[in-house]
């Protein structure tokens, strides 16, 4: 029996040691985390994001709506509506910029590509109407929505040059295919940067459009 | 002796179990990390950075160099030299934008504050010469360097309104206090956003300056 008691004592002693060892293991893992996350990771993360955004700015070429060489009245106006509330299809925030037409006539204003790239999405979307999505060389996504019609029969994979006419400004969307007139004629522009494997993050196009206001093509319309 | 052997067997068995338990503990901790870091954290992190940058754009008011109402020759030119190499004081990358004076005359061009804010740093720096650093209401830091002189006797904590004359463009720096002429007359502008407790990250002022080119004050100089 005294032998069994000796065994029992050994078991308790060893289990006690195991607990201490495990406790230290966990303690050792916590220190680096609490040191790295706030400082190092934040720094690196922000630098990555900063450089990601830099790749958007670098590839911006033309303002999406050319100037009219014949009609001084044909202008567009836009405000910083970043994350303003939208209601169609449930409450959501506005992830883009609306360029409003001074002449509320669908199909009147040409819409050109801001950047070089390739067509990734084209056709009808309930919220976006006739839309086209261009994937740029730097991997960013430019979304042009509510078009009245397309500049040509764009197909997925088609190459696009900055300044190419993607389509004509309209008021399509907010319903089944062909729906028009649910809002004034305007171009909705969205800009998305890649985020990890298959995620994207919307960034505010307003400042980019202000920057591009000095880079307008002139068309006769 | 057989008792001792029995004890030895127990010890080995228990130590073996402890190893398994510890192995599983570590394995269990690895799973959430590998799931969370790439997706969730990146998403949240980037949204925070995006909103941090938004706070810079929102507070930009005036281009830092007013237009001359009397001398058409008095212009400034700037390029996107972001992270271009600089050599004075050891190899480093350029964390700002240089606005070069068409008239290479120290003290000729006024330099105004881009934003509202308060004076945080003022006086001589070996690399920056006579510089002034403005902390904006949104907590961002605007660094104006190489000034020939100051617009007034700025002191730390002084309130600054966008458009206030901070000083006059010069060629000070790259040596002990008072050093001039080591480079052409220009304004070096740096923009820094807060990053965690006591860190800051430089962002590229070039696009902000392009945006502000449409917002120039006019002074008689």
Instruction: Pick the residue of A42, A47, A199, A203 with the most B CBs within 10 A to test the interface with B by mutation.
Output: A42
Residue B178 has pLDDT above 90, yes or no: yes
Average pLDDT over residues B77-82: 94
The residues of chain A scoring below 50 in pLDDT are 31-39
Instruction: Pick the residue of B3, B12, B17, B45 with the most A CBs within 10 A to test the interface with A by mutation.
Output: B45
CA-nearest of B144, B157, B137, B149 to B60 is B137
pLDDT at residue number A37: 41
User: Which residues of B are less than 8 Å from A10 in CB distance?
Assistant: 7, 10-11
The reply to whether A210 touches chain B by the CB within 8 Å rule is yes
Distance from CA of B98 to the nearest CA of A (A): 18
Q: What gap in Å lies between CA B199 and CA A48, rounded to an integer?
A: 16
Distance from CA of B89 to the nearest CA of A (A): 23
| Other C-beta atoms lying within 10 Å of the C-beta of residue A95 | 20
Distance from CA of A84 to the nearest CA of B (A): 14
Q: What gap in Å lies between CA B209 and CA B78, rounded to an integer?
A: 9
Number of Cα atoms under 13 Å in the Cβ half of residue B134: 32
Instruction: Pick the residue of B26, B29, B42 with the most A CBs within 10 A to test the interface with A by mutation.
Output: B42
The answer, as to whether pTM is greater than 0.80, is: no
Distance from CA of B107 to the nearest CA of A (A): 30
Q: Out of A32-46, B134-148, B150-164, which region has the weakest mean confidence (pLDDT)?
A: A32-46
pLDDT digits (tens, 9 = 90+) for B12-30: 887 787 667 666 665 555 5
Higher pLDDT, B11 or B169: B169
| Cβ–Cβ below 8 Å for A210 and B214 | yes
Residue that is written with structure tokens 């907010």 in the block: A174
Q: What gap in Å lies between CA B142 and CA B122, rounded to an integer?
A: 12
Of A15, A38, A57, the CB nearest to B207: A57
The reply to whether B174 touches chain A by the CB within 8 Å rule is no
Q: What gap in Å lies between CA B160 and CA B210, rounded to an integer?
A: 23
DSSP assignment letter at B76: E
Of A45, A50, A201, the CB nearest to B203: A50
pLDDT at residue number B93: 84
> pLDDT class for B10, splitting at 50, 70, 90?
confident
Instruction: Pick the residue of B36, B193, B210 with the most A CBs within 10 A to test the interface with A by mutation.
Output: B210
Q: Output the CA angle B14-B16-B20, nearest 5 degrees.
A: 115
pLDDT digits (tens, 9 = 90+) for A40-73: 556 677 888 888 899 999 999 999 999 999 999 9
Higher pLDDT, B2 or A68: A68
What are the E-state strand segments in chain A? 67-68, 76-77, 85-86, 92-93, 97-101, 110-112, 117-125, 129-135, 141-150, 159-160, 165-169, 186-195, 199-203, 218-219
| Cβ atoms A110, A71 nearer than 8 A | no
What are the E-state strand segments in chain B? 67-68, 76-77, 85-86, 92-93, 97-101, 110-112, 117-125, 129-135, 141-150, 159-160, 165-169, 186-195, 199-203, 218-219
Retrieve residue B138's tokens: 């949104």
Predicted ipTM > 0.90:
no
Distance from CA of A34 to the nearest CA of B (A): 13
How high is the mean pLDDT of chain B?
Answer: 88
CA-nearest of B210, B213, B56, B51 to B141 is B56
The reply to whether B21 touches chain A by the CB within 8 Å rule is yes
The reply to whether B3 touches chain A by the CB within 8 Å rule is yes
pLDDT at residue number B35: 41
pLDDT at residue number B124: 98
pLDDT at residue number A41: 59
- Secondary structure (3-state) at A11: helix
Retrieve residue B71's tokens: 């001398």
């Amino acid at each position: 029996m005294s032998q069994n008691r000796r065994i029992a004592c050994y078991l308790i002693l060893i289990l006690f040691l195991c607990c201490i060892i495990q406790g230290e293991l966990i303690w050792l893992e916590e220190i680096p985390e609490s040191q790295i996350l706030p400082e190092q990771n934040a720094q690196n993360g922000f630098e990555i994001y900063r450089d990601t955004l830099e790749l958007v700015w670098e590839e911006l070429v033309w303002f999406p709506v050319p100037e009219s060489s014949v009609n001084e009245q044909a202008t567009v106006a836009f405000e910083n509506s970043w994350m303003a509330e939208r209601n169609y299809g449930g409450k959501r925030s506005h992830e883009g910029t609306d360029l409003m037409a001074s002449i509320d006539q669908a199909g009147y204003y040409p819409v050109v590509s801001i950047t070089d790239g390739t067509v990734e999405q084209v056709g009808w979307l309930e919220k976006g109407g006739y839309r086209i999505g261009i994937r740029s060389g730097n991997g960013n996504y430019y979304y042009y929505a509510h078009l009245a019609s397309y500049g040509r029969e764009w197909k997925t994979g088609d190459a696009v040059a900055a300044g190419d006419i993607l389509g004509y400004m309209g008021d399509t969307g907010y319903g089944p295919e062909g729906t028009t007139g649910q809002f004034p004629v305007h171009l909705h522009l969205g800009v998305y940067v890649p985020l990890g494997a298959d995620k994207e993050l919307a960034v505010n196009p307003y400042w980019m459009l202000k920057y591009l206001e000095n880079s307008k093509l002139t068309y006769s319309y």
